[in-house]
Chain A
Amino acid sequence: MSCKNPFNHDITPADAPLLNVQVDGQWVQLPRGLNVVEAAKRVGKFIPHYCYHPKLSISGNCRMCLIEMGTPKMGPDRKPIIGADGKPEIGWIPRPQIGCATMISEGMGIRTDSPMVQDCRKGVMEFLLINHPLDCPICDQAGECKLQEFSVEYGNEDSRFVEQKVHKPKQVDIGERIVLDDERCIMCSRCIRFSREMVNDDVLGFTQRGSHTTLAVHPGKRLDNNYSLNTVDICPVGALTSKDFRFKMRVWFLKETKSICTGCATGCNILVGSRENVVHRLTPRENELVNSEWMCDQGRLGFHYIHAEERLLQPTARVNSTTLPVAWDDAFAQIRDRIKSYKPEQIAIIGSARMTNEELFLLAELRAGLGGNAVLTDVVPRTGEADGILRSADLNPNTAGAKLFQISNDGKNLAAIKDGIESGRIKVLYALHEDPVGDAGLSESALAKLDLLITQKLLKSHSTDIAHFSLPGASFAEKRGSMINGAGRLQRLNKAIATPGQTMDDFEILLKLRATITGGNSLHTIEEVFKAVAASIPALSGLSLSKVGDLGVEVAPAAATVTT
């Protein structure tokens, strides 16, 4: 599934004819359909802009992208006059034009840095700053603010403004997740256009007029849609800020790790912003084939559990009613010793479609070592409602992978597992990243009947309390690996932070458990595991984690069939 942007000014059809355009004196060929900002970008020239966004309608209001342009001079025969260099002579228009709303045409000349252009930028920068509060020291946007950035690059040195500034509302609560500072707003209307055009939730607007123009919501209808935080990303200044991220961290301290969101089967590409092993925010990362430049708020904010107080940090073993910390190797050995005496029919595994391919692969191998298909296995399906924008009806990020490795049975085995445990036929349960009670729907009394309960998850619960072995795994931000999204795209997770405490990356837990139980261990690294995965699945053959790349690859559509 690729994102349905209303506009894609930066993309032209593959068969768009090439036009000859002169950019800062150089003749280049560029596809028809580009505006001047995009055309210049393709030849490495940056035209500063505020209001223009390649995925939104063009409003042309900031005037930062003013450039000089010209068209071929025409002779009396209505044909372009050819100059000494064999190229058309250009008749330059004396007035600057906005690059964002000017489409390139055959023989067009563009000057992106002429004295006139520089003068225009200086003028616009000055205008934008005269009524700006300049509270950069306390502004969250500092470091990512285009006003700061461009004013250094294109602005004046000192202020000529000696009047009183216009005052506007500050710290306006415009939505559950967003705070607005109207004095910082430069009225570029990006946020308004985003809400209207991408989300069809036209709740933002400008009130008042002239220099008093004020971005606002009507109190009865706030900016609460599930994509609201994208407005924070596209706001070029610090006018819109995320309540979640506000004042938490200066952005320049953040380490950004490319990864994917695991909130649903869309697998939006993201950056994980972290510092010193703490994740502070997730932001969307451009991938036209998946999420374009956006992500939903649920996905964006759904990471705090990583640092929850209930996070399990230590493997534990329970003997009778006493639960004690245990060393990993001891845990693996004890599990081996206890599980040996059970027949495959007495063992069940509840895996998760939130696990990576690598983990699922290893789990499948472990199952084989425990008796193969006789071990009842399944995952917990999670469905919501697709929103027609990004969110998939499948709320598991790797349903396709779970099927591919035959861990998933679409949840159809869950009832059998439940019955088996309740009837006493199943004596051993290994539950990974799903809570047997909270997620899989087993009863606490059923769990009590088990001889051996092994849980492998992040957060403490009744199940982990009564588990004979609780193995603390890793969150998406703490691991590498791959997943296949609902559209059959194989994408990578990357490790942003270290696993906390004694927790262990799940692939390693599985690797070690497998080695302990079934013996032999030829695999050590995640790359090696992926190689083994690729070797076992024809659709992935020839791939390696590095070949998957930052933007993922489409794998056989067979993997894409997700039933929800």
Chain B
Amino acid sequence: MSATCHDTQDHVELKPEFVAHADELISHYPVSKRSASLPLLHFWQETHGYISNQAVEWIAGKLGLNPIQILELVTFYPMFRQHPAGKFQIKVCRTLSCQLGGAYELREHFMKKLGITKVDEHGLGISADGKFSVEFVECLASCGTAPVIMVNDDFYEGVSHTQADELIGKYS
């Protein structure tokens, strides 16, 4: 759980469209461009998969900040990753209503089906082929249809084990 994970990461070339969209996002915050930190982090992660050291430094530079101010955010918000997760990221809601609805068993089911045995310090497990990752997340605000999950940005409610298997098939 080192605060500053710095692998030697691949450097990505930023396309002009990327930079242009980043500038558009910054324009949403006419009072303080620091406010664009989260939008830029989201945008980077959506585009490049995870927040590399390059991302931290580029965003900080873009917003006139010290890199630590971006690193502070990356490590605070669980949605940002400093390492690649699975191509399809299965996020199982863990919180009470979903626990009552079988969330723990559902996560177990996913892990077994995908052959994941190890998790990192944040509880994230990645399948051997890197295709799937499974993790718990906190209440997804759909407690009435527990258990609920997200696969990347897609949302699924009342997920049975059969449906879980179907979802794995669908995304494979």
A368 to nearest B CB, angstroms? Answer: 57
Stretch at the interface among A14-22, A214-222, A517-525: A214-222
Asked if residues A221 and B75 are in contact (CB atoms below 8 Å), the reply is: no
B38: min CB distance to chain A, Å:
15
Contact A169 B6, beta carbon cutoff 8 Å: no
In the complex, how many residues of chain A place their beta carbon closer than 8 angstroms to a beta carbon of chain B? 20
Selected contact of B68 from candidates A168, A203, A212, CB within 8 Å = A203
Cβ of A212 and Cβ of B6 under 8 Å apart?
Answer: no
A183 CB to closest chain B CB (Å) equals 12
Mask: chain A, 162-183; 1 = CB below 8 Å from B; 0 = not: 0000011100000000000010
**Complex: how many Å from CA A207 to CA B6?**
14
Q: List which B4-29 residues lie within 8 A (CB) of chain A.
A: 4, 6
Task: Indicate whether B152 reaches chain A with its CB closer than 8 angstroms.
Answer: no
> When each residue 145-189 of chain A gets 1 if its CB lies under 8 Å from chain B and 0 otherwise, what string results?
000000000000000000000011100000000000010000000
Known contacts A207-B3, A208-B1, A208-B3; A216/B68 CB under 8 A: yes
B171 within 8 A of partner (CB): no
Q: Does B67 count as interface, using CB distance less than 8 angstroms?
A: yes
B2 interface residue per 8 A CB criterion:
yes
Interface flag for A78 (CB, 8 Å): no
B69, CB-defined interface residue at 8 Å:
yes
| Set of chain B residues within 8 Å of A167, measured between Cβ atoms | 1
User: What count of chain B residues pass the 8 Å CB interface test?
Assistant: 16
With A218-B56, A220-B57 in contact, is A205–B1 under 8 Å at CB?
Answer: no
In-complex Cβ contact of B71 among A182, A209, A216 (8 A): A216
Tell me the minimal C-beta distance from A137 to chain B in angstroms. Answer: 26
Q: B145 near A: Cβ within 8 Å?
A: no
CB distance from A234 to the nearest CB of B (A): 19
Determine whether the beta carbon of A202 is less than 8 Å from that of B1.
Answer: no
B72-108, CB < 8 A from A: 72, 75-76
Q: Bound state CA distance, A221 and B29, in angstroms?
A: 26
Asked whether A204 is an interface residue with its Cβ less than 8 Å from the other chain, the reply is yes
Are the CB atoms of A216 and B67 closer together than 8 Å?
no
User: Considering the chains assembled together, what is the distance between the CA atoms of A138 and B125 in angstroms?
Assistant: 38
CB distance from A221 to the nearest CB of B (A): 6
Closest to B67 in A: A218
A207/B71 in contact, CB under 8 A = yes
Q: Chain B residues with Cβ under 8 A from A207's Cβ? A: 3-4, 71-72, 75-76
Cα-based distance from A182 to B4 in the complex (angstroms): 13
Residues of B within 8 A of A219 (CB): 4, 6
A221 and B76 contacting across the interface, CB-CB below 8 Å: no
CB-CB < 8 A to A205: which residues of B? 66, 68-69, 71-72
- In this assembly, does A206 line the interface, its C-beta being within 8 Å of a C-beta of chain B? yes
Q: Please tell me which one of the listed residues B3, B66, B75 contacts residue A203 in the complex, with CB atoms under 8 A apart.
A: B66
Query: In the assembled complex, which residues on chain B have CB atoms less than 8 Å from the CB atom of A220?
Result: 57, 67
Are B71 and A218 in touch, CB under 8 angstroms? yes
Q: In the complex, A204→B1 CA distance in Å?
A: 18
Given the interface pairs A207-B75, A209-B75, A209-B76, the reply to whether A216 lies near B69 with Cβ below 8 Å is no
Instruction: Name, among B1, B57, B68, the residue most crowded by chain A CB atoms within 10 Å (CB to CB).
Output: B68
Q: How far is the CB of B69 from chain A (nearest CB, A)?
A: 6
* Bound CA span A214–B71, Å: 11
Residues A218 and B76 in contact in the complex (CB < 8 Å), given A205-B71, A207-B71: no
Can you report 25 A-B residue pairs in the complex whose CB atoms are below 8 A from each other?
A167-B1, A169-B2, A202-B65, A202-B66, A202-B68, A202-B69, A205-B66, A205-B69, A205-B71, A206-B72, A207-B3, A207-B4, A208-B1, A208-B76, A209-B75, A209-B76, A214-B1, A214-B3, A214-B75, A216-B3, A218-B4, A218-B68, A219-B4, A220-B67, A221-B68
Query: A-B pairs with the 5 shortest C-beta distances?
Result: A207-B3, A218-B67, A207-B75, A205-B68, A216-B3
Q: Please report A residues at the B interface, Cβ cutoff 8 Å.
A: 167-169, 182, 202-209, 212, 214, 216-221
Q: A205-B72, A207-B3, A208-B76 are in contact. List 10 more A-B contacts (CB 8 A).
A: A202-B69, A204-B68, A209-B76, A216-B68, A216-B71, A218-B56, A219-B6, A220-B57, A220-B67, A221-B66
